[in-house]
A and B are shown apart, each in its own frame.
Chain A
Amino acid sequence: MPGLLQILLDALSLGSLYALGALGIALIFGVMRLVNFAHGDVIAFCIFALLWPSVDVVPIVFAGQLPWFLLIPFVLAVGAGLSVLAELAVFRRFRHANPATMMIASFALGFVIRYFLLMLFSSRPKSVQILPGLSQPVELLGARIPLLQVVTILVTIAVLLALVAVLRRTRFGLEMRAAAENFTMARMLGVRANRVIMGAFAMSGALAGAIALILGSQTGTADIMMGSSIMLMAFIATVIGGLGSLFGAVLAGFLLGGVSVAMQFALPLEARPFRDAFVYGAVILVLLWRPQGLLSGRAAKERV
């Protein structure tokens, strides 16, 4: 049995991924009541942006060779850029459509991105080495801990703090919080709808980029489906957290990570392959108990 510290770190680093993903979904849901199912495919796109198009297993690395201080902004910018493009090309046209229509549009967009990647890279996962320095273990309190886990957790905390600072301290953050609560009223006070929504998409896309970096360095592969499982858990986290509540999304993300890892150790050996079924079972129980989510957001307000 691995040490308690290791379990804790596993839980926190998995929770970090879910929390970052949930945040990316909640940010957009907050301002336009859209559950963006293309988010997972934006994550995948960010990793493939590091490679030249090819169907080989060992691909030609393109931007992946950049030093870390260029690589990280590059991937974040790719995510933000693609996300903003999605808003301009697709979601803006559906802004007055009902939420179900927008959701279907996001599914469709996800497929477009996925098949675009499939066309350029084929479905075989590729091996990529990003930030190889992170795969070494470090000694911490007498245990050998993967450096990447520590970095993942620290990065997530840094991202969360930065987000809180933007939301609390900047004019854009003020406008965004006002818009998330009551978009029409914010517009009647001169807040530009397009600007706020584009900002939310950019932030969400950058978060997708961060997830891509973490996943890519964790697994050493670029896989077209890599965003999907995160996306599913992240979506569940936003629902459990209370759609529209950013804090709830983060909390639920960490909670899901914790429950997943706890079950990995607590379940009897024969049941472990079905861990996710148990996690989803727990999710159903939570939603039966609190259908509006743990921290119900002020969600049901009118959209733009």
Chain B
Amino acid sequence: MSLLSLSNVTVRYGRLTAVRGVSFTMAEGEVLFVTGPNGAGKSSLLRAVAGVVAPAGGRIDLADHDITGRSPETIARLGLSMVPEGREVFGSLSVEENLLVGTGMHAGTRGWRARCETDLAAVYATFPILKDRRRSQAGLLSGGQQQMLVIGRALMTNPRLMAIDEPSLGLAPNIIDQVYDRLTELRRHRALALLIVEQSSTRAMMVGGRMMLMRGGEILLDGDARALGQSEAMQSAYFGYGEH
């Protein structure tokens, strides 16, 4: 049984088609990188999965539920946690309040408060800087701290699948390393599947796992990150050599 499955998914903005009939599946606990140049449709693909845009065609299933065209909150409640492009912290809320926004979906269940506390402690253990800054306004954090905050915030919902759009965008290389160290660490401790969008394949090759190359709204290549990353096919597909 697959955790996430897309079949023939199309995303349109008016007359522009951003994603053209994309199909793939992801297994429980899998790491999948989606790479590709600007305008490839990577973010649009994630937005369709998260329910932020309704697909113009096709079908998306998450954990055996048809989520095509469902609302973002319904999809989040089924176990998808999305970290969108540009991070989107709630700048006027404190760091801790940011972390707590997503815990409401389990409110009222038994032992909810206690779980909130342990989850919060776990996030603080992973990102100690967030604990130090927990009373500060989130908008005042640095870019790297904000990236850690939104990953922590996504974790607080106890997702089965976390989708992250360009976690390295605008960060210094050593901060990117830290972010990825945390992500791989998290994967080891939880049964968490990761769907990560990055423009370049370098990170995917370092972290390992599966990688897809997207371009012009379609998936051109799909395979092992390290093997694909070194291949000729990857280079030519990324830049579109030999098509003209």
Query: Taking beta carbons and an 8 Å cutoff, which residues of A are in contact with B?
Result: 171, 174-175, 177-178, 181-182, 184-193, 298
Complex CA distance for A171 and B102, rounded to whole angstroms: 10
B56 to chain A, nearest CB (A): 16
Q: A182-B88, A184-B72, A185-B84 are in contact. Are A190 and B104 (CB under 8 A)?
A: yes
B90-98, B122-130, B187-195, B207-215: which lies at the interface: B90-98
Flag whether B185 is at the interface (Cβ < 8 A): no
Complex CA distance for A248 and B93, rounded to whole angstroms: 17
Q: Is the CB of B104 within 8 A of A191?
A: yes
Complex CA distance for A174 and B97, rounded to whole angstroms: 7
Complex CA distance for A289 and B101, rounded to whole angstroms: 36
Complex CA distance for A96 and B238, rounded to whole angstroms: 36
- Contacting B104 at CB < 8 Å: which of A171, A182, A185, A188? A171
Q: Is the CB of B100 within 8 A of A190?
A: no
Q: Is the CB of A185 within 8 A of B88?
A: yes
* Chain A contacts for B91, CB-based, 8 A: 181, 298
Flag whether B230 is at the interface (Cβ < 8 A): no
* Chain B contacts for A188, CB-based, 8 A: 50-52, 72-73, 76, 81-82, 84
* Chain B contacts for A181, CB-based, 8 A: 90-93
Flag whether B186 is at the interface (Cβ < 8 A): no
Complex CA distance for A192 and B51, rounded to whole angstroms: 13
Flag whether B121 is at the interface (Cβ < 8 A): no
Flag whether B27 is at the interface (Cβ < 8 A): no
Q: Is the CB of B90 within 8 A of A175?
A: no
* Chain A contacts for B71, CB-based, 8 A: 187, 193
Q: Is the CB of B97 within 8 A of A298?
A: no
Q: A174-B100, A175-B104, A186-B101 are in contact. Are A192 and B90 (CB under 8 A)?
A: no
Flag whether B105 is at the interface (Cβ < 8 A): yes
- Contacting B76 at CB < 8 Å: which of A175, A189, A298? A189
Q: Given A181-B92, A182-B88, 17 other A-B contacts at CB below 8 A?
A: A171-B104, A174-B93, A174-B97, A174-B100, A175-B101, A177-B97, A178-B101, A181-B93, A186-B90, A187-B71, A187-B76, A188-B72, A188-B82, A189-B76, A189-B154, A190-B102, A191-B101
* Chain B contacts for A192, CB-based, 8 A: 73
* Chain B contacts for A177, CB-based, 8 A: 90, 92-93, 97
Q: List 21 A-B contacts (CB under 8 A).
A: A171-B104, A174-B104, A177-B92, A177-B97, A178-B93, A181-B90, A182-B90, A184-B72, A185-B90, A186-B101, A187-B71, A187-B73, A188-B52, A188-B76, A188-B84, A189-B101, A189-B102, A189-B154, A189-B157, A190-B76, A190-B105
Complex CA distance for A187 and B72, rounded to whole angstroms: 6
Interface bits B151-166 vs A (CB < 8 Å: 1, else 0): 0011001000000000
Complex CA distance for A186 and B71, rounded to whole angstroms: 12
Flag whether B233 is at the interface (Cβ < 8 A): no
* Chain A contacts for B76, CB-based, 8 A: 187-190
Interface members, chain B 55-111 (any A CB < 8 Å): 71-73, 76-77, 81-82, 84, 88, 90-93, 97-98, 100-102, 104-105, 107
* Chain A contacts for B84, CB-based, 8 A: 185, 188
Interface members, chain B 6-54 (any A CB < 8 Å): 50-52
B51, B90, B97 interface centre (most CB from chain A within 10 Å): B90
Complex CA distance for A193 and B74, rounded to whole angstroms: 10
Complex CA distance for A185 and B71, rounded to whole angstroms: 12
- Contacting B52 at CB < 8 Å: which of A174, A184, A193? A184
Query: Nearest chain-B residue to A245 (Cβ)?
Result: B92
Query: Nearest chain-A residue to B92 (Cβ)?
Result: A181
Complex CA distance for A175 and B84, rounded to whole angstroms: 18
* Chain B contacts for A171, CB-based, 8 A: 104, 107
Complex CA distance for A182 and B154, rounded to whole angstroms: 15
* Chain A contacts for B77, CB-based, 8 A: 190
Query: Nearest chain-B residue to A186 (Cβ)?
Result: B101
Complex CA distance for A189 and B52, rounded to whole angstroms: 12
* Chain B contacts for A298, CB-based, 8 A: 91-92
Query: Nearest chain-B residue to A175 (Cβ)?
Result: B104
Query: Which 8 pairs from chain A and chain B are nearest by CB?
Result: A190-B105, A189-B102, A187-B72, A190-B76, A185-B88, A188-B82, A178-B101, A187-B73
